[in-house]
Chain A
Amino acid sequence: MNIHEFQAKKLFRDAGIAVPRGIVVETPEEAASAFKELGGPLAVVKAQIHAGGRGKGTIKSNPSQHGVELVKSAEAAEKAAAAMLGEPLVTIQTGPEGQTVRRVYVEEGCDIARELYLGIVVDRASASPVLMVSTEGGMDIEEVAEKTPELIFKAPFDADRGLMPYQSRVLAQKLGLTGASVRSADKMFRAICKLFVKLDCSLAEVNPLVVTGSGDLMALDGKINFDDNAIFRHPDIAELRDTSEENPNELRAGKAGLSYVQLEGNIGCLVNGAGLAMSTMDLIKLHGGQPSNFLDVGGGAKTEQVTEAFRILLGDPNVKAVLVNIFGGIMQCTTIASAVLEAYKTVGFNVPLVVRLEGTEVEEGRKMLAESDVDIITAEGLTDAAKKVVAAAGAA
């Protein structure tokens, strides 16, 4: 689960991590009053959407307007907010349609001496969380990792022990910090590692992490992702979810307990198991088609959930044909067959449907479909299924 920058900064502030003062607003007028309330000579107006790359991103209808703007008066704050609010912002992470800006964050300016980077992830290889810092703040960290990996410094830490003070000192030294900045870094590093564990984060990122003129460290940006599997432990965090930032089909699928990712093609896929679902997408592409989605109905799905999956696929106007690829394990082929029949009755099939069944209760499942009056293209094996669905989508 993702949250907005202003929400992440509130969590940072509550955890004792220094952040600039800021006010989140929903109208240009409120942006003007926020500027006055902050009382400084300058402020930054920042579009609040879940995607990154906002500073370089542009408003779709007005490409000269970026998603982050430095302003020096209440009028300028109002103008910048007016240019962003209600408009789609296109960044490298949003896709060409952009993401509509519903709120902006007005934040006091700060005196920047240096820009650093800080991130925490769970490292698979060491099976532990790891704190990463870099001297290359404000840059695309993926590019830094690629071109100058020696400028990224890492410290794995135990979830329960947390980051040790000596680890902070070593990292601070590598960043070239001295004197009071070392103490400020130690306080911040340990606080953010503690927050990461306490809230079951999957990612925490501060880019840039700045050293101010007086030598203090401050989080100028804030990004937090949470482990979906651990949200049950954090009802207060679950409330921070902003569903307007999510793809409607993905949201709907999530409510039905399905795993769905929207793609750009025209062949709908309904598969059980993530690995097989990815392979099915690959297979469609290998045979010249384009998948419109990733959809894993999971192992324990009931007829109603699978029927909902059909509703989502068939409701997508881009979908020209649907491939059902099931290798029954926990999932029984009869469950899928029932769902196909149910979807046919309640939704109706407006596009060709190719079905490939294998595994648990396959004979019964195939029989149910064969004996029904539903118009289905049956397939034997993976290649046959892919060829048939690509042909069907092409003919539609």
Chain B
Amino acid sequence: MSILINKGTRVICQGITGKAGEFHSKNCIEYGTQLVAGVTPGKGGQTVLDRPVYDTVAESVEKEGADATMIFVPPPFTADAILEAADAGIKVIIAITEGVPVLDMARVYKVLENEYPDAVLVGPNCPGVITPGECKMGIMPGYIHTPGPVGVMSRSGTLTYEAVWQLTNLKLGQSTCVGLGGDPIVGTSFIDLLKMYEADGKTEAIMMMGEIGGTAEEEAAAYVKEHVTKPVAAFIAGRTAPPGKRMGHAGAIISGGKGTAEDKIAALTDAGIEVAESPADMGTALKRAMERK
């Protein structure tokens, strides 16, 4: 068991003919992902990495039985790519693209919510999803992961790699790792994933990496307090970030006194979550959380 994706997942890449799309598709195939096709409008009939390229997502679903997609198309076309995938019946949509206009995402979010409630969107501006040893959909380095009991979720890419690497070195493998994305509006939230991890038989503990900005971590903490029985550890990035400055991610900004690391850490601690003081301590915090329960 795992969440979202596994060895049976039939994956396409939207934007496979682009440089990043092709590079990461290659890495995913080498990792063992069943990447069945690529989609690029106007490039149907070509072959990339020995996989057929189709003009539309619907074609890839019909001919290859695709059920998950990773999106590498440029920002102006990402909203369209997401909705095309949802409309073609794809259930797991992972948008890697960085730089999507926030109002595009506000529109996409509403359409998915109302018209395609079964589709799960992860991202945009995210590293993707990996179920170690089974399926990698995204840009994370595969070798740092190892199969095991820890569900990992994060708003940041490289910070996730850092946490995963620490877990792997502590002999704590991962069930599924999900990068939510660093934008103000993203498809899947911490709470959505907490529900999935709680229900997943293979996941025994949950590691969560948050950052300044918004209130997603506070909401997750409240949810954990009420509904999650599995041990949870967390780290919040940005304790030293000055207010009013956007720290790289469009969503990482302390505004109106809201979204500070202190508030988030207080809420997490109050919910019984083991909070790592230092980013070097994320793996050991998870270990402490598991031992405590």
Contacts and interface: CB of A to CB of B under 8 A. Distances in A.
B201 interface: no
Given A124-B184, A142-B257, A285-B239, A274 B248 contact: yes
B247 A278 contact: yes
B215 A229 contact: no
A124 B103 contact: no
Most B CB atoms within 10 A — which of A261, A282, A300?
Answer: A282
B209 interface: yes
Contacts, number: 178
Interface in A274-324: 274-286, 291, 294, 296, 299-300
A159 B277 CA distance: 40
Interface residues of A, number: 58
Contacts of A330: 20, 24, 139
A278 B185 contact: no
B161 interface: yes
Interface of A: 93, 122, 124-125, 127-129, 141-142, 145-146, 158-160, 197, 200, 202, 227-230, 232-233, 259, 261, 263, 271-286, 291, 294, 296, 299-300, 327-330, 358-360, 381-383, 386
Contact of A275 (B139, B144, B249, B257): B249
B38 interface: no
Contacts of B256: 141-142, 145
Interface stretch (B28-36, B39-47, B59-67, B106-114): B106-114
Most A CB atoms within 10 A — which of B76, B246, B256?
Answer: B256
Contacts of B165: 327, 358
A229 B159 CA distance: 23
Contact of B158 (A125, A286, A329): A329
26 contacts: A122-B102, A122-B184, A125-B214, A127-B105, A127-B109, A128-B106, A141-B256, A159-B103, A160-B107, A259-B248, A273-B157, A275-B160, A275-B249, A276-B156, A276-B279, A278-B212, A278-B238, A278-B240, A278-B252, A282-B239, A294-B241, A329-B139, A329-B158, A330-B139, A359-B161, A382-B279
Interface string B146-159: 00000000111111
Contacts of A277: 247-248
10 nearest CB pairs, A to B? A275-B156, A274-B248, A273-B158, A275-B159, A230-B101, A279-B279, A382-B280, A276-B158, A278-B237, A296-B248
Contacts of A360: 141
B281 to A, nearest CB: 8
Nearest to A127: B109
Contact of B103 (A146, A227, A271): A227
A382 B278 contact: yes
B119 interface: no
B123 interface: no
Interface in B226-252: 235, 237-242, 244-252
Contacts of B212: 278
A281 B158 contact: no
A125 B165 CA distance: 31
A286 B182 contact: no
Given A122-B106, A229-B75, A279-B237, A274 B182 contact: yes
